[in-house]
Structure 1
Amino acid sequence: MSDLFIVKAKVKEIAQDFNVAADFSDALNEKAKQLILDSINRAKANGRRTLMTRDL
């Protein structure tokens, strides 16, 4: 697995009374990674080196 961008314990904390499957955190991490990469591409396209909320 690549670098972690999310904290599994925090995911479980937010889920409260719901069980969290073992692979859920991995899938969420991949989505977070892709979201960051997409934001980087948008910032580059706009001539910036700072990620901003609007890049999401």
Structure 2
Amino acid sequence: MAPRRTTTKPPAPAPVPVEPAPCQPCGGSGNVPVTVRVGRKRRPVGQQDGLCLNCLGSGTDPDA
């Protein structure tokens, strides 16, 4: 019979949390500027905030 092992293994180190990368189109804010167009000729009059379709407003890069 083999002798019993009396030493224990050291505990595994805790994994370091990785911060997700910010989304490129919105810069991590979750909002992108959308041009507002009015009139029959659809002339641009300004911009408003719109939801980023790449990250769906979360601000983190979905491909990372």
Bucket of the pairwise TM-score, normalised by the shorter protein: under 0.3
Greater Cα radius of gyration, structure 1 or 2:
2
Looking at secondary structure, tell me which structure has more strand per residue: 2
Looking at secondary structure, tell me which structure has more helix per residue: 1
Q: Which has the higher contact order (CA 8 A, sep 6+)?
A: 2
Give the alignment's TM-score, normalised by structure 1. 0.23
Give the alignment's TM-score, normalised by structure 2. 0.21
